[in-house]
Amino acid sequence: MRVASNAVKRARQLRRRMSLPEVMLWKALRGREHGKPVFRRQYPTGPYVLDFFCAKARLCVEIDGGSHGFGDRPRADARRDGYLRSCAARRPR
């Protein structure tokens, strides 16, 4: 899947200024211990940047705080979710 170059830049920026809930979850997810799933943080995919992504499980975790309920965020989140579902539907398991 192609990644927009601005998504890579944005992912780098977001890694430097993660929200408190993202930092707390990252502390629990990070590390590469045997048998533990490997997560990446602020992972660019297409035009979006996922908060956390585990490639082996094909699982993304989005931390949507209170700001996601206001303005255009609900519609933007719905577009992102639709995009991710369409990507999952195109890929065989």
Kindly state the DSSP code that residue 3 receives in the 8-state scheme. Answer: -
Enter the tokens of residue 70.
Answer: 């206001």
Domain spans, the chain: 5-90
Q: So what's the pLDDT on residue 44?
A: 92
**pLDDT at position 50, please?**
93
Taking the CA of residue 27 as centre, how many other CA atoms within 13 Å lie in the half-sphere pointing to its CB? 6
Please, what are the averages of pLDDT over each run of 10 residues along the chain (93 residues)?
76 90 92 89 92 92 74 86 86 63
Check: CB of residue 8 under 8 Å from CB of residue 50: no
pLDDT given at position 71:
74
- CB of 23 within 8 A of CB of 15? no
Q: Given this model, what pLDDT does residue 88 score?
A: 80
State how far the Cα of 47 lies from the Cα of 32, in Å rounded to an integer. 28
48-54 and 40-45 strand pairing: antiparallel
Confidence at residue 16, expressed as pLDDT on a 0 to 100 scale: 92
Across-strand partners of 49?
44
Q: What confidence score (pLDDT) does residue 51 get?
A: 93
Q: What is the pLDDT of residue 79?
A: 92
